[in-house]
Structure 1
Amino acid sequence: MVRILRLVFVLFCGLAAAQQQQALMDYLERRLLAIEDRISLWHEQTSRYASELREFKQQMVAQLEGLDKNKEVLRSELDSVGARVDRVEREMDYLETQNGAQPCVDVDDKLVEQQVTVAKEKNKAKYSKLTDCSDMISTIKAMKILKRVGGSKGTWTKDMGSSSGKVYIFNSTGEDTVYEFSSLREFTSSQGTSAATSIHLPSAWGGLGHVVYNKHLFYVKEGEELKLMKYDLQKSMVVDSAVFPAKDQLPVYTLNPETYIDLAADEEGLWAIYATKENQNHVSLAKVDSKTLAIEQMWDTPCPRENAEAAFVVCGTVYVVYNSKLPSRSRIQCVFDVSDMVTNDDAPTVYFPKRYGTLSSLKYSPTEQLLYAWDDGYQILYKLQMKKKLEV
């Protein structure tokens, strides 16, 4: 009896185990089917996403191509508008030069004749040229913006009377420290004035009219009395000074009123550009002996101070650059040749492709035929194209 019970128990246990095993297999099969369904759904969604991504990519490519085309059209339209604006500016400047303001009062003919006679007597002495230079400016061939160092107003230049490649930076209108770089490459590659040699002058300069010529720095001493200073850059000392022989002086440029005397150098030597009340608010010019600071000769020019911002001298011809109180394009609008070979009718109106504010200084390099310009803290080089003066 006991054996029968044991056999029944064993059979019952085997049957239960078989049922559990079958249930486990069914469960596993259901799980596998669910996983297969999810994998199939994932494949379907992935395919759909890939298709949508391809369509979106095609749409973006088409839109980018359309934007490129629109960009080219806009660029072409902007170039056309810029050319039209430049043409309008030139026409307006031309009309300004041709249609000057009419006088508000009648001028006595005898007084005019007397003024002309005085001017002729004053400039009657013939200027003796030191060189055979007969070049005049035809146009500005190219420009290059080098970097930005310093404030809105300043001067930068090379030694205009020697082959030295040193560059000099005069920041602001009234300081006593000049920064000297050994070369133009060192200046452009340096950070600020960190690589420069500091030259401390015994007195501060006034205005923006300094020039370096034949290893000497010529500047106007700041103060009530306008005194020309000659500083030897090799000996680091002032070697000469002289009071400028002009009375009732005015700022030579109304757009840069800090400058009373603008010193310049060209193929003929050293010059001083200035203004006095005696010349009826016009720019005056003087030839300066660079060795003794003596004034060799003086001229009254017909170039007005109003709206003038800078000037420079090339081959004995002073070129006065004008702008407006609301900065626009600078232009050479008045010239005066000490040898009477160039008149305003002969000289073309030259525009500066300026990008910032007002030119605070222009320094001419005779050996390079370059203009060193300071424009709102930017140091710019203008390459000049020359032509021969015409005999009159």
Structure 2
Amino acid sequence: MAEKLLLEAEEEKKIRTLLNASCDNMLMGIKSLKIVKKTMDTDGSWMKDAASASPKVYFLIGSRNNTVWEFANLRAFMEDSTKLAGRKLILTVSWQGTGQVIYKGFLFFHNQGTSSEIIKYNLQKRTVEDRMLLPGGAGRALAYQHSSTYIDLAVDEHGLWAIHSGPDSHSHLVLTKIEPDTLGVEHSWDTPCRSQDAEASFLLCGVLYVVYNTGGQDLHRITCVYDPLGTINENDLPNLFFPKRPRSHSMIHYNPRDKQLYAWNEGNQIIYKLQTKRKLPVE
């Protein structure tokens, strides 16, 4: 019994050391939305580099592709209707799903045709910088019921993460912290958040927020929140819902630099502004 308690204490210390960034915000509401661009594509993702002050915008169409459009800034992205204003980058490997992220100049994505291989791609050299296999049955089932994504990558104030379903259908989500320089697994958590009825998720200050679509009046709501540190009590959270959209979100990703959500819904590229407050300190 004493040995078990010692191991649990060491594990908790490891987690607190891992999530030691100076970030104490928790989500309190989605304040508003701005439709930045409208396209005809149901699935896709768009983003900025989550760790850079660069204004460049990246546009990835579809759930299986190898082309990235790079725009100088948000204005160029908004005003472009032919993609001629964007720089066309053809990757040497293709992605699947809509869970891509750009972090520290590299594009991270789920390699098409593999169950769990993550690619770290150098956009400047247009070469594969590194690759890894996610453990724990990753990629065997869709991460979210209302999605084409098997492995969803995310970035927050603590760095790079992966979210995927467990090996069984309608199972719970698994959250994995990844070291972006070496592509090593730093830690994994089995969360209580179900894949069933889910459409997307994102991380903010080390906390996982999962968006569900049950087909009711409040179509898109965050009804499962997982905090590895245990500092957030779900009973203290307000009703977290998104403005009504006609279909499920293809992707929702948080950008820790501008504190906004970048989303894709029914061919619309959307920015959601957030309301946050300080969470309780870790004792």
Aligned pair partner of 1:383 in 247, 270, 273: 273
The answer to whether the aligner puts 1:254 opposite 2:145 as a matched pair is yes
Q: CA deviation at 1:365?
A: 0.9
Residue 200 of structure 2: which of 310, 333, 341 is its match?
310
Q: Secondary structure at the match of 2:77?
A: helix
Question: Is the Cα–Cα contact under 8 Å of residues 209 and 264 in structure 1 kept in the other structure?
Answer: yes
> Corresponding residue for 1:285?
175
Aligned with residue 189 of structure 1, among 70, 79, 97: 79
Letter in 2 for 1:182: A
Which structure would you say has the larger RCO, counting Cα contacts within 8 Å and 6 or more residues apart? 2
Deviation string, structure 1 residues 99-155 (Cα, Å, up to 9, x no partner): xxxxxxxxxxxxxxxxxx9xx97x944412241101011111221111212411111
Deviation at 1:250, TM superposition (A): 1.9
1:262/1:273 contact within 8 Å kept: yes
Superposition pairs of residues 289-300 of structure 1, within 5 angstroms: 289-300=179-190
CA drift of 1:224 comes to: 3.4
Residue by residue, what CA displacement relative to the aligned partner does 1:237-289 show, whole Å, maximum 9, x if unpaired? 11101111122632110011x21110000000000011113697011100000
Give TM-score, length-normalised by structure 2: 0.90
Q: Equivalent residues in 2 for 1:210-359 (5 A)? A: 210-247=100-137, 249-256=140-147, 258-277=148-167, 281-324=171-214, 329-359=219-249
Q: For 1:160-196, what per-residue CA distance to the aligned partner results, in whole angstroms no more than 9, with x for missing partners? A: 1111111111111000001111100100111142211
Question: Identity, % of aligned pairs?
Answer: 40
CA distance in 2 between partners of 1:184 and 1:389 (Å): 32
2:96 aligned counterpart, secondary structure: coil
The 8 Å contact of residues 150 and 171 in structure 1, kept in 2 or not, is answered as: no
Aligned to 2:62: 172
The answer to which structure has the higher strand fraction is 2
**Distance (Å, rounded) in 2 between the aligned partners of 1:327 and 1:175:** 34
Q: Which runs of 5+ in 2 are unaligned?
A: none
SS in 2 for 1:239: strand
SS of 1:175's equivalent? strand
Change (3 A) 1:150 1:170: farther
Instruction: Indicate the residue corresponding to 1:96 in structure 2.
Output: none
**Contact 1:309 1:359 survives alignment (8 Å):** yes
Q: Which has the higher helix share?
A: 1
TM-score, reference length from structure 1: 0.66
Tell whether the 8 Å contact from 2:250 to 2:265 is kept in structure 1 after alignment: yes
Q: Which residue identity does 1:253 align to in structure 2? A: Y
Distance between the aligned counterparts of 1:124 and 1:343, measured in 2? 21
Structure with higher Rg: it is: 1
Q: How large is the RMSD of aligned CA atoms in angstroms? A: 2.1
Aligned to 1:12: none
Which letter does structure 2 place at the counterpart of 1:252? A
In the alignment, structure 1 segments of 5+ residues that lack a partner are: 1-116
- Contact conserved, 2:92 with 2:126, CA < 8 A, in 1? no
- How many residues end up aligned between the 2 structures? 272
- What is aligned with 1:71? none
Residue 234 (structure 1) shift: 2.0
Distance between the aligned counterparts of 1:344 and 1:235, measured in 2? Answer: 45
Give how far 1:379 is off.
0.6
Runs (4+) of structure 1 exceeding 4 A deviation are 325-328
CA contact (8 A) 1:150 1:172 kept: no
Residue 23 of structure 1: aligned partner:
none
Q: Which amino acid aligns with 1:254?
A: Q
Partner residue of 1:364 out of 247, 250, 254: 254
| Structure 1 residues 204-253: Cα deviation after superposition (integer angstroms, max 9, x where no partner) | 10111100011110000011332100011222211101111122632110
